[in-house]
Amino acid sequence: MKKVLFIIATLVSLTACQPEGQRVFGRFVPERKDDFAWENEYAAFRMYGPALAPENPSNGVDLWLKASPELIVDSFYYREHELGLPYHINYGKGLDCYKVGHTAGCGGLAIVADDRLWIGGPYSRHEILYQDDRRLTFRLEYDSVPVAGHLMHEQITITAEAGTPLCKAEVVLTCLASDSLPEILLGGGIYLHDSLDRCSYNEETRTLTYCEDALSDKTAAQMNYEYNGSTSQGRSYIAVYVPDTAARRPMEYDNTVVLVAPYQLGTTFTYYFGACWSRWSDGRHAYKTDMDWQDFIADVAAKIK
């Protein structure tokens, strides 16, 4: 009982330290092998850094589900690394239950060439370009991304803003020996843990959505069952939007569905990705069904200039 009260007091204290009205946050996380983690009202994300390289991570995006717009990144890391309470378990604020492995993860960069999907490793450098209560812009650089027998340099600039579930990703790929490269397609990828029929593509708005059982990962399901006796934690909602009118219809590679468009080396390619939880709510807004999420994302994408 004392431990439970201590945990509650600690989490309340962490929440109280957050600036009132802050809806966007992100930081470098050296205490967790160089993660770069960030969040907006709808969800939290992280990408993997150089200290994790021995574990062969990808340059994909990991997803943490949130129950409300309240900031949770710092409290999740504190709970995991200081209190020994895994963030894979839902204690009421949300949980980490999306398995990435060596994939694009939740809307991570998809590079397609020679009719296959190319996945890179952890980032080499990070830089926060701008941060306030309602917007965060940061840049990650990757020095050696393999693509069709070549090594690319990848620069990805991500902006998260309050009021929208979609993060903006601006990507630049460069390669010295580019004369023999095949056609390159860029965009966002979603790694599937469930069946393909959970993906939905809106051709008019060029939005790809994926809805799955939040505990599709067996390890997370077991941990939550042992803690609260249930494997039901609602549904994860994910989305990718490619504004380029030349975007191809979604393609599937290695259980990853990608929404991509033709790319010219050295130019800036823009796409959007985001996520939410069926148990998320901020009062008037909540997405209780897969169709609610699909309609919402189509509406959001249609308003992006």
CATH of the domain at 61: 2.70.98
Q: Residue-wise pLDDT tens for the chain (305 aa)?
A: 333 333 443 444 444 445 668 999 999 999 999 999 999 999 999 999 999 999 999 999 999 999 999 999 999 999 999 999 999 999 999 999 999 999 999 999 999 999 999 999 999 999 999 999 999 999 999 999 999 999 999 999 999 999 999 999 999 999 977 678 899 999 999 999 876 667 999 999 999 999 999 998 888 999 999 998 888 899 999 999 999 999 999 999 989 999 999 999 999 999 999 999 999 987 667 899 999 999 999 999 999 97
Can you give the pLDDT at residue 178? 64
Question: Coil, strand or helix: which one is 22?
Answer: coil
Can you give the pLDDT at residue 196? 60
Please answer whether residues 107 and 61 qualify as being in contact, where contact means their C-beta atoms are separated by less than 8 angstroms.
Answer: yes
Q: What φ, ψ does residue 198 adopt, rounded to 5°? A: -90, -5
The neighbour count for residue 208, using CB atoms within 10 Å, is 28
* Tokens coding 3: 């431990």
What is the C-alpha separation between 44 and 63, in angstroms, rounded?
6
Number of domains in the chain: 1
Q: Which helix (H) or strand (E) holds 256?
A: strand 256-263
Domain that holds residue 142: 2-302
